[in-house]
Amino acid sequence: MTGKLPFEALSVDTLAARLGANQALCSHIGKDTSRWKVREVGDGNLNLVFIVEGAQGAAVVKQALPYVRLVGDSWPLPLKRSFFEYHALTRQQARAPGSVPDIHHFDEGQALIIMEYLSPHIILRRALIEGRQLPNIARDIGLFMARTLFRGSDLHMATKDRKADLALFADNVELCDITENLVFSDPYFDAKMNRHTSPQLDSIVAELRADRDLKVEAQRLKHIFAANAETLLHGDLHSGSIMVTEAETRMIDPEFAFYGPIAFDVGMLLANFWMAFFSQRGHEQNGKRDAMRAYLLDVTVETWSVFRSEFSHLWRTERTGMLYQKSLFEDQGDRLGAEQALDHMLHQIWTDMLGFAGVEVHRRILGLAHNADFETIADADLRATCEAKALKFGRHIAVNRRQIHSIDEVSKLAALIERENRI
């Protein structure tokens, strides 16, 4: 297959014939296509994902479709998202080595990426639903976020390179548009594709949509998201974009990558841990989940703490970009000035992170793209109880984000809301 052929979606039946001559794939799995076994395993909202096993190994073939898979061809979506995913993966690999799958091949015309098959990894969201406590995720994800977000910004990069990258990723318009609508606006009015657990949540949903403070805050956050081109974001860093084993953590799927605020990735990620926390009650039938709840709050505390300390370390050791130059601080013996600027920056990230987390929680319960943490709770009353608590929590951290000063305070709030009986 070459990039010059017209785009054609792969299928389980055509993949071996179409990719049988692909050197990169053959070198990883073996060239005898009669021994290839192909499975389509995509369970995300947008793309095809195949696992191809051959005599010598396995690989993943991910292909974009010209529409949103979740909705169908009534919602066209450009294939170029595969280009942004490929370029984001190469940058993440350079900035946080070992944190993403190895890339074997990229074909822009066919919008496909051939990459390392991660095994026995599973999707983090699934592990958390099953009640598994993974010991390394907070450290691994905290480091990934600090390294990619710091090293992709004007704190570290030569500004010429950053501006070139900014221009490259600025074309990821349609995927930004999805986030701008689905995260920041649609949950707060009766948008066409929204859905929620009904009738159980109807009155709460009506209250939230009439909540002026919340709507204003969501739009302030949307403004920050759209206007603060601070660093190269993963752009969709939720627990469905992370693969894990007991020992290893890898980030996948950065097709929403673009230059945006550092706090966005951090907020989206922590929101998904908080949603996992509030959903545990719905998964309790096979044993109590008290320890799992405590674990999840510990994970949020540790993730934030690792992020903070690695970001601070990079600030002190790799601040080579045009922002907060050492010539203004350390070189004049003013180390405290640099620390003051760092505190200021971390405070801003903290405050905005809480806001982004709050709206991410809301959109997963009120919008189009729900998450399995809640969706797999079959009893609608029980699901609504979990969701209502998460909605209340999300509203509190979004609207009061400037008055919340520590992650322990957020853990206490989550635990308090979880213990409340009434929704």
User: To the nearest whole angstrom, how small is the minimum distance from the Cβ of residue 364 to ligand SR1?
Assistant: 9
* Phi, psi of 214, rounded to the nearest 5 degrees: -65, -45
* Nearest position to Mg ion, beta carbon: 253
Burial 231-252 (b: 16+ CB within 10 A, else e): bbbbbbbbbbbbbbeeebbbbb
Q: Is 157 in the site for ligand SR1 (CB under 6 A)?
A: no
User: Number of residues in contact with Mg ion, rule: CB under 5 A?
Assistant: 2
Q: For 337, how many CA atoms within 13 A lie in the half-sphere containing its CB?
A: 11
Identify the residue among 52, 143, 178, 204 touching ligand SR1 (CB under 6 A): 178
Comparing C-alpha atoms, which of 388, 264, 389, 395 is closest to residue 404? 395
Comparing C-alpha atoms, which of 413, 139, 109 is closest to residue 277? 413
User: To the nearest whole angstrom, how small is the minimum distance from the Cβ of residue 371 to ligand SR1?
Assistant: 9
User: To the nearest whole angstrom, how small is the minimum distance from the Cβ of residue 380 to Mg ion?
Assistant: 26
Comparing C-alpha atoms, which of 183, 307, 198 is closest to residue 256? 183
User: To the nearest whole angstrom, how small is the minimum distance from the Cβ of residue 305 to Mg ion?
Assistant: 27
Number of Cβ within a 10 Å radius of residue 368: 21
Identify the residue among 70, 158, 167, 328 touching ligand SR1 (CB under 6 A): 70
Closer Cβ to ligand SR1, 180 or 302, answer by number: 180
Identify the residue among 49, 68, 137, 314 touching ligand SR1 (CB under 6 A): 68
Identify the residue among 186, 217, 236, 352 touching ligand SR1 (CB under 6 A): 236
Q: Is 257 in the site for ligand SR1 (CB under 6 A)?
A: no
178 binds, among Mg ion, ligand SR1, none (CB under 5 to 8 A by kind): ligand SR1
SS3 percent helix, strand, coil of the chain, rounded to 5, is 55, 10, 35
CA distance 223 to 328: 30
CA distance 205 to 310: 39
Q: Is 49 in the site for ligand SR1 (CB under 6 A)?
A: no
Q: Is 140 in the site for Mg ion (CB under 5 A)?
A: no
Question: Residue type for 314, please?
Answer: L
Closer Cβ to ligand SR1, 19 or 390, answer by number: 390
Q: CB–CB of 309/317 below 8 Å?
A: no
186 binds, among ligand SR1, Mg ion, none (CB under 5 to 8 A by kind): none
Question: Residue type for 389, please?
Answer: K
Number of Cβ within a 10 Å radius of residue 161: 12
User: To the nearest whole angstrom, how small is the minimum distance from the Cβ of residue 70 to ligand SR1?
Assistant: 5
The CA distances from residue 126 to 241, 337, 375, in Å, are 11, 45, 12
Identify the H or E element spanning 103. strand 103-107
Closer Cβ to ligand SR1, 140 or 186, answer by number: 186
User: To the nearest whole angstrom, how small is the minimum distance from the Cβ of residue 69 to Mg ion?
Assistant: 10
Build a one-symbol-per-residue string for 12-51: x at contacts with Mg ion by CB under 5 A, - elsewhere. Answer: --------------------------------x-------
Q: Is 352 in the site for Mg ion (CB under 5 A)?
A: no
Q: Is 235 in the site for Mg ion (CB under 5 A)?
A: no
DSSP 242-264: EEE-SS-EEE---TT--EE-HHH
User: To the nearest whole angstrom, how small is the minimum distance from the Cβ of residue 160 to ligand SR1?
Assistant: 31
Q: Is 253 in the site for Mg ion (CB under 5 A)?
A: yes
Comparing C-alpha atoms, which of 284, 274, 191, 272 is closest to residue 239? 272
Stretch that binds Mg ion, among 63-71, 102-110, 172-180, 250-258 (CB under 5 A): 250-258
Q: Which of residues 320-379 bind ligand SR1 (CB under 6 A)?
A: 369
218 binds, among ligand SR1, Mg ion, none (CB under 5 to 8 A by kind): none
Identify the residue among 182, 232, 397, 399 touching ligand SR1 (CB under 6 A): 182
Helices (H), 7-100: 15-19, 23-29, 81-95
Which positions lie near ligand SR1, rule CB under 6 A? Answer: 44-46, 68, 70, 178-179, 182, 236, 369
